[in-house]
Amino acid sequence: MFKALVLENSPSFRASVQSVDESMLPTGDVTVAVAYSTINYKDGLAITHAGAVVRQWPMVAGIDGAGTVIESGHPDWQVGDRVVHNGWGVGEVHWGCLAEKARLKGDWLVRLPEAFTPRQAMAIGTAGYTAMLCVLALEDHGVGPGAGEVLVTGATGGVGSIAVALLSRLGYQVVAATGKPAEGDYLRHLGASSLLDRAALSNPGKSWQKERWAGVVDAVGSHTLANALAQTRYGGVVAACGLAQGMDLATTVMPFILRGVTLAGIDSVMAPRARRQQAWSRLARDLDPALLETMVQEVSLDDATARAHELMAGRVRGRIVVNTAL
């Protein structure tokens, strides 16, 4: 038996920590003893039943996990290997990692860099790994540290916090957009050079505005993304990875055909393993572990549901790490 955060939808929705028999684990060729998991925005949607994330019931929540291989039928993985998992429909159509054990497919796993403990890996989680994918997209399109201001929206969230820390350490001039002025010291500590009230971006605006941003990391979508596009400088890049404000995008082709702006979509769920490994290797090199620790709140499986509700209510900054042993 092992503990897991189980989501059920019959006769009504319920999220609860239960003891589960190992025989109930789904098919897969690698079994992992999960040391730590985390609560990302998608986990929050699933655990609070605020979005149609779960597509099979019952479901063990948790799209992320880090731990040690305890059984393997996959040629790439041996018992004792340290691994990290992000995405791949886990917590949606395949039982997830907010549990003491998870059975996964070996092709989904990435080797945990020696620089990180499992706890640090989950302090990063899909949010931080996505932030690194956004940074890679800026670099791939030629937006370097000397290009000018880079805007990070949703800056106190998981993606935003790690994006600010990464970009700053790499030498970028980071402007952090937030609706939480009380978190100014936190964002400056992460490396933000200045703050922007999110209200300046969150309402409908003109599709053609004064140029400002060399690059953008956007986890918000909707009007915020439309305004960021309209303000991006000639040849700039907007890495779009989230929809905290909404999934709509009311804009025009003007930024693309008159300023050569690139809108780079960032998918963390199905990204190829080589890109994942590249992102994790860069995180090991470019993310300051001391700064990472300032973003972390550690909780138990029993506390995860309450923290998911706080996350969806906008009352969480940084990252929530779930210690499965507590």
Over residues 2-33, the pLDDT tens digits come to 999 999 999 999 999 999 999 999 999 999 99
DSSP-assigned letters across all residues of 101-123? EEEE-GGGEEEPPTT--HHHHHH
CATH class of the 125-265 domain in this structure = alpha beta
DSSP state of 81: -
Domain ranges of the chain: 2-112+295-323, 125-265
> Is the pLDDT score of 134 beyond 90?
yes
How would you write 21-64 as a 3-class SS string? Answer: CHHHCCCCCEEEEEEEEECCHHHHHHHCCCCCCCCCCCEECCCE
Q: Are 161 and 137 in contact (CB under 8 A)?
A: no
Mean pLDDT confidence for 152-163: 96
Tell me the per-residue pLDDT of 76-117, one tens digit each, with 9 for 90 and over.
999 999 999 999 999 999 999 999 999 999 999 999 999 999
Tell me the per-residue pLDDT of 219-243, one tens digit each, with 9 for 90 and over.
999 999 999 999 999 999 999 999 9
Residue whose structure tokens are 């490396």: 191
pLDDT at 51 (0 to 100): 86
> Is the pLDDT score of 185 beyond 90?
yes
Mean pLDDT of the chain: 96
Q: What is the pTM of this model?
A: 0.93
What residues contact residue 44 under an 8 Å CB cut-off, 6+ apart? 50, 308, 309, 311, 312
Question: 2-112+295-323 belongs to which homologous superfamily?
Answer: Medium-chain alcohol dehydrogenases, catalytic domain (3.90.180.10)
Tell me the per-residue pLDDT of 245-272, one tens digit each, with 9 for 90 and over.
999 999 999 999 999 999 999 999 999 9
Residue whose structure tokens are 């025989």: 23
Q: What percent of the chain has pLDDT over 70?
A: 100
Please list the residues that pair with 47 across neighbouring strands.
none
> Is the pLDDT score of 183 beyond 90?
yes
pLDDT at 153 (0 to 100): 98
- Listed in order, strand segments (DSSP E) in the chain are 2-8, 14-20, 30-38, 59-60, 64-72, 82-86, 101-104, 109-111, 149-152, 173-178, 194-197, 213-218, 232-240, 262-265, 296-300, 319-323
Tell me the per-residue pLDDT of 33-66, one tens digit each, with 9 for 90 and over.
999 999 999 999 999 999 889 999 999 999 999 9
Residue 304 structure tokens:
């995860």
pLDDT at 181 (0 to 100): 92
Q: Are 244 and 190 in contact (CB under 8 A)?
A: no
Phi, psi of 196 (to 5 degrees): -130, 130
pLDDT at 102 (0 to 100): 98
DSSP state of 10: S
Residue 68 structure tokens:
């040690």
Residue 5 structure tokens:
């955060």
> Is the pLDDT score of 193 beyond 90?
yes
